[in-house]
Amino acid sequence: MKKFRKIILILVPLVFLAMSTPAEIQTQKNSPVENVVKIPSASGSPINGAFYGNGRNVVILSNMDPNDVESWAPIIPELVAQKLSVISYEYNRSGTDRLKDLIEVLDFAQSQGFSKIILIGACRGGVISIQAAANNNSNAGIVAVAALAVPIEYHGTIFYSSEELASISVPKLLINSEGDYSANDTRKIHEAFIEPKAISFYSGNEHGTDMFNNPNHKKALVQQLINFASLSFQAQ
């Protein structure tokens, strides 16, 4: 899958240089696109992340299993082309504790001066993105959330109640494959959401970011996410 090279420090956006947390920026030579970041975490070790772009608004991407940040490769350049900043990251924690990782990434983004944030996640990453948007203690700055192939429960663990889903007032976008195992749950989540909300299904049975691998709808899927992010930021 496509790899991203890393930005030299002199090209880091000003908002990223004026850090109020001890996050460590690692840079590599001849690297025009990506900055590797070490995000402070109460888990005992920093969260490995990557920062792209120099926009005033930021999109945070949360992975599905197996926790592969490269799964977002098809959409990152398109987001940056819209003059948006992007943060991707690897989970430190497992299971339901991954929400804590996202909250720490959110705190990090806000510490860099980002006041408008969109969350996009796939499967487990979509679950925690929805949970974060429903969490009144952590959603400052979240202006929209998009989730690919999100379930309501897994192996007996229920991720959110109908009341929690209905509490999210920002724009919401749900995307799934028609043949994915979580398709029915995606429909139920959409029913529980209040407006503004949208839902889309694509042909096939690819799960989460694997949908980017389907040449029949890769372009349309990427464009839908780009349009959602751009319009959501513009509405603020």
Pairing of strands 58-62, 85-89: parallel
CA distance 233 to 58: 9
CA distance 58 to 120: 11
Q: Is the pLDDT of residue 224 over 80?
A: yes
Higher pLDDT residue, 181 or 13?
A: 181
Which residue, chain included where needed, has tokens 């529980």? 192
User: Can you tell me the mean pLDDT for 219-228?
Assistant: 98
What per-residue confidence (pLDDT) applies to 146? 98
CA distance 189 to 156: 17
User: Can you tell me the mean pLDDT for 156-179?
Assistant: 96
What per-residue confidence (pLDDT) applies to 143? 95
How far are the Cα atoms of 109, 135, 170 from residue 42, in angstroms, in the given order? 16, 19, 28
C-alpha radius of gyration, the chain, whole number: 17
Q: Is the pLDDT of residue 138 over 80?
A: no
CA distance 33 to 138: 29
Q: Is the pLDDT of residue 55 over 60?
A: yes
Q: Is the pLDDT of residue 16 over 70?
A: no
What per-residue confidence (pLDDT) applies to 117? 97
Positive/negative CA dihedral, 138, 62, 117, 236: negative
Higher pLDDT residue, 7 or 158?
A: 158
What per-residue confidence (pLDDT) applies to 236? 81
**17 pLDDT tier (thresholds 50, 70, 90):** very low
**34 pLDDT tier (thresholds 50, 70, 90):** confident
Least confident piece of the model among 11-20, 40-49, 169-178: 11-20
**139 pLDDT tier (thresholds 50, 70, 90):** low
pLDDT in tens, 174-196: 999 999 999 999 999 999 999 99
CA distance 21 to 1: 32
Residue ranges and CATH numbers for the domains of the chain are: 9-234 (3.40.50.1820)
pLDDT in tens, 76-134: 999 999 999 999 999 999 887 899 999 999 999 999 999 999 999 999 999 999 999 99
